[in-house]
């Protein structure tokens, strides 16, 4: 099989991947980005990003990612759509497969990010895409004038609940404890919104539906054991994320939460020439700006390491 050879390949096209590409390209490394199935990453499912410096009025997540892509392309980053199916990091050049297509590279930057978590109920799986979603920005529009539930108590859940009030008649925010994890500012915004009703100390017991899709949601109060129906036709799960590290399980060191382990203060993994940045290696901060920052670090680490090899 003929391989397309590159000095640097970057896996993933979120803020980490594009920032790594901008820096690597400007260092004359002619990088290639393999975008993954969700080009632009998680920010493409966000409405307003208010905390990325440089945008005093906030910026739409899709627009921000489109800017980053254009900036990477301007310095001649090759941007290939494609979902990596296998990697071989046992010998150099490293091998990256996208189906039958083989790519080879001297340095690999992993910026594969993280994906939304689901509750794991069978009924949740049954109605995924037919009432159950993990992205209000993508699917909220379908619930115009209806009742929906958001599950979770972090910033994502608070943000989704707030966003959904733009379309929905009522938004139930179902949280398993009696206090939110999300920021005070987001809590205030949500608690002030008359369309939001918080269902404290409660978890999803069952997603109910028929051949048309989800028709109701049964929740259970953990303190009293009582169950009740919310009458919602949509459920948005916002309970955090899982790092996209499946491809690297057998070759790279992962921590107890399956995030890639990097050496202190750098983007270096346990294999020389393989670097990691963004949400795939960060279970603590998980912000667009920190992802971009570590993307920059990965490109600089890769550039210096490649120079040492020559």
CB of 16 to ligand NDP, least distance (A): 14
Nearer to ligand NDP, 49 or 110 (CB): 49
Contact in structure between 261 and 274 (CB atoms under 8 Å)? no
Q: Tell me which residue of 198, 197, 200 sits closest to 222, measured CA to CA.
A: 200
For ligand NDP, which residue of 73, 98, 104, 119 counts as binding (CB under 6 A)?
119
Q: SS3 of 2, please?
A: coil
Catalytic residue check, 296 = no
Site size toward ligand NDP (CB under 6 A) is: 19
Catalytic residue check, 205 = no
What do you get for the CA distance between the two ends of the chain, in Å?
27
- Draw the binding track, 76-115, toward ligand NDP (x: CB under 6 A; -: no contact): ----------------------------------------
Q: Does 51 bind ligand NDP (CB under 6 A)?
A: yes
Task: Please give the distance of CA 277 from its chain centroid, rounded to a whole number.
Answer: 13
CB of 174 to ligand NDP, least distance (A): 8
Nearer to ligand NDP, 160 or 303 (CB): 160
Task: Please give the distance of CA 197 from its chain centroid, rounded to a whole number.
Answer: 27
- Candidate list 105, 106, 139, 216, residue with the active-site label: 139
Q: What are phi and psi of 99, to 5 degrees?
A: 60, -125
Catalytic residue check, 277 = no
Nearer to ligand NDP, 134 or 296 (CB): 134
Q: Does 218 bind ligand NDP (CB under 6 A)?
A: no
For ligand NDP, which residue of 60, 155, 201, 205 counts as binding (CB under 6 A)?
155
Q: Does 297 bind ligand NDP (CB under 6 A)?
A: no
Nearer to ligand NDP, 120 or 129 (CB): 120
- Candidate list 138, 178, 188, 255, residue with the active-site label: 138
Q: Tell me which residue of 93, 120, 91, 115 sits closest to 32, measured CA to CA.
A: 93
Residues 6+ apart with CB under 8 A from 288: 14, 15, 43, 49, 51, 52, 64
Residues 6+ apart with CB under 8 A from 283: 243, 255, 257, 259
Nearer to ligand NDP, 28 or 183 (CB): 183
CA distances, 231 to each of 101, 151, 235, 248 (Å): 48, 15, 11, 42
CB of 46 to ligand NDP, least distance (A): 7
Residues 6+ apart with CB under 8 A from 60: 47, 48, 49
Chain contacts with ligand NDP (rule: CB under 6 A): 51, 119, 151-157, 159, 176-177, 181, 203, 238-241, 286
Catalytic residues: 135, 138-139
């Amino acid at each position: 099989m003929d391989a397309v050879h590159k000095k640097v390949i970057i896996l993933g096209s979120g803020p980490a991947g594009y920032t790594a590409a901008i820096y690597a390209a400007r260092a004359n490394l002619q990088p290639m980005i393999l975008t993954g199935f969700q080009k632009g990453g998680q920010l493409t499912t966000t409405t307003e990003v208010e905390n990325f410096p440089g945008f005093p009025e906030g910026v739409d997540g899709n627009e921000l990612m489109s800017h980053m892509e254009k900036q990477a392309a301007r310095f001649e980053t090759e941007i290939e759509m494609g979902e990596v199916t296998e990697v071989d990091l046992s010998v150099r050049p490293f091998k990256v497969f996208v189906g039958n297509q083989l790519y080879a590279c001297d340095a690999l930057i992993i910026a594969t990010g993280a994906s939304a978590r689901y509750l794991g109920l069978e009924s949740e799986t049954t109605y995924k895409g037919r009432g159950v979603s993990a992205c209000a920005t993508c699917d909220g529009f379908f619930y115009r004038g209806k009742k929906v539930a958001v599950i979770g108590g972090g910033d994502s859940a608070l943000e989704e609940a707030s966003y959904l009030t733009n379309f929905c008649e009522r938004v139930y925010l179902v949280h398993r404890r009696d206090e939110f994890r999300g920021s005070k500012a987001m809590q205030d915004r949500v608690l002030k919104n008359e369309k939001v009703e918080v269902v404290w100390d409660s978890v999803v017991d069952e997603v109910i539906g028929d051949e048309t899709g989800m028709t109701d949601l049964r929740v259970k109060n953990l303190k009293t054991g009582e169950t009740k129906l919310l009458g919602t036709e949509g459920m948005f799960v916002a309970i955090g994320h899982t790092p996209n590290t499946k491809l690297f399980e057998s070759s790279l060191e992962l921590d107890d939460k399956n995030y890639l382990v990097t050496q202190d203060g750098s983007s270096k993994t346990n294999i020389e020439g393989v670097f990691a940045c963004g949400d795939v290696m960060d279970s603590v901060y998980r912000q667009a700006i920190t992802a971009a920052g570590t993307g920059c670090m990965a490109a600089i680490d890769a550039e210096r390491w490649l120079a040492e090899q020559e």
